[in-house]
């Protein structure tokens, strides 16, 4: 057990616990906040794995933008502040499939890697990732830009108020 391992264990526990809270809590706003914790600890994990750019981008985009967006949606859809009783549907399909998938994958990976070790070398820093992207992955990069543009336009179009005025009640 190296230092990295201990740190990973701790951060992992936090992440898993926060994720469990996200999917089980009965208060919608708290779910969003637990999501922040989970995503943040994941960023920490990335740091340990020497993927600095990914970690900071995670914090920036996910924690900074996505979660904020989710909380905005929570507010705009008038979610009740406080305990609400009807957040969950029947639980056993989720338990079955989710538990099966998660535990199955875990078993698979444990079986694959056992207690092997790897060396931590310089990971995905800004310079390395930038080089990789603009050398080998330029095309997907450009396509992603177009996709972002499409998503932007689409989001605006879908949420136009006059759409609801035409067909709504």
Partner 1 sequence: MTGVLGAALPLVPFAMALLGFLLPQASHLWAGFLGIVGAGVALVVAIVLAFTVDGLVETSHTVATFGEFEVTFGVRLDSAAAYVAIAVGVVALAVQVFSTAYLRSDDRYAPYAAQISLFTAAMLIVVVAGDLIMLLIGWEVMGICSYLLIAHDRRLPEAPAAAVKAFLVTRVGDVGFLLGIVILGVRAGSFRLADVLAPGVLDPTTITVVCLLLLCGVAGKSAQFPLHTWLPDAMAGPTPISALIHAATMVAAGIYVVARLFPLFLASSTALNVLAVVAAVTMLLGALAATVQDDIKRVLAWSTVSQIAYMTGALAVGAPAAALFHLLTHAAFKALLFLAAGSVIHAVGTNLMSHMGGLRRSMPVTFWCTTIGLASLVGLPPLSGFFSKEEILHVAVAGSGWRNLLVYGVGLATVFITAGYATRVWLRTFFGQPRSREASHGHEPSRLMAWPVVALAVPSALLGFVALSPAFAEALGAPEGFTIGAEAAAPVAWAALAIGGVWWAWRLRPADDPARVLGPLRPLFGNAFYLDAVQHALVVRPVTALARAVRRADESGVDGVVEATGQGTLSLGGVVARAHRAGLPRAVTAVLGGAAVLGLAAVAIVGVWP
Partner 2 sequence: MMHPVLPYVIAALLFGLGVYGVLTRRNAVLLLMAVELILNAVNLVLVTADTTVRAVLPHTGGVFALFVIVLAAAEVGVGLAIVLQLYRLRQSVQVDEVPLSYEMRPDAAGSGEAVPLDGDTWSPNARAVSPWSVEVIP
CA 134 to chain centre: 25
> Which of 72, 81, 83, 142 touches partner 2 (CB under 8 A)?
72
82 part of the interface to partner 2, by CB under 8 A: no
83 part of the interface to partner 2, by CB under 8 A: no
> Which of 1, 77, 78, 111 touches partner 1 (CB under 8 A)?
111
Q: How many CB atoms lie within 10 A of CB 75?
A: 13
> How buried is 64 (Cβ within 10 angstroms: 0-12 exposed, 13-18 middle, 19+ buried)?
middle
Distance CA 149, CA 142 (A): 11
89 part of the interface to partner 1, by CB under 8 A: yes
147 part of the interface to partner 2, by CB under 8 A: yes
Residues 35-64 that bind partner 2 (CB under 8 A): 35, 38-39, 42, 45-46, 48-51, 53-54, 57-58, 61-62
100 part of the interface to partner 1, by CB under 8 A: yes
Rounded (5°) CA angle 100-102-103:
70
């Amino acid at each position: 057990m190296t230092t990295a391992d201990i740190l990973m264990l701790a951060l992992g526990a936090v992440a898993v616990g926060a994720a469990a809270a996200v999917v089980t809590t009965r208060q919608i706003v708290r779910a969003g906040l637990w999501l922040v914790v989970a995503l943040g600890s994941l960023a920490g994990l990335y740091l340990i794995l020497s993927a600095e750019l990914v970690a900071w981008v995670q914090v920036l985009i996910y924690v900074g933008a996505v979660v904020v967006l989710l909380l905005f949606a929570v507010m705009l859809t008038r979610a009740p502040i406080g305990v609400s009783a009807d957040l969950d549907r029947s639980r056993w399909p989720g338990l079955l499939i989710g538990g099966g998938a998660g535990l199955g994958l875990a078993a698979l990976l444990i079986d694959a890697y056992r207690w092997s070790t790897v060396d931590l070398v310089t990971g995905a820093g800004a310079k390395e990732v930038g080089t990789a992207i603009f050398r080998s992955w330029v095309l997907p990069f450009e396509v992603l830009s177009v996709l972002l543009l499409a998503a932007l336009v689409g989001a605006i179009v879908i949420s136009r108020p006059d759409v609801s005025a035409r067909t709504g009640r």
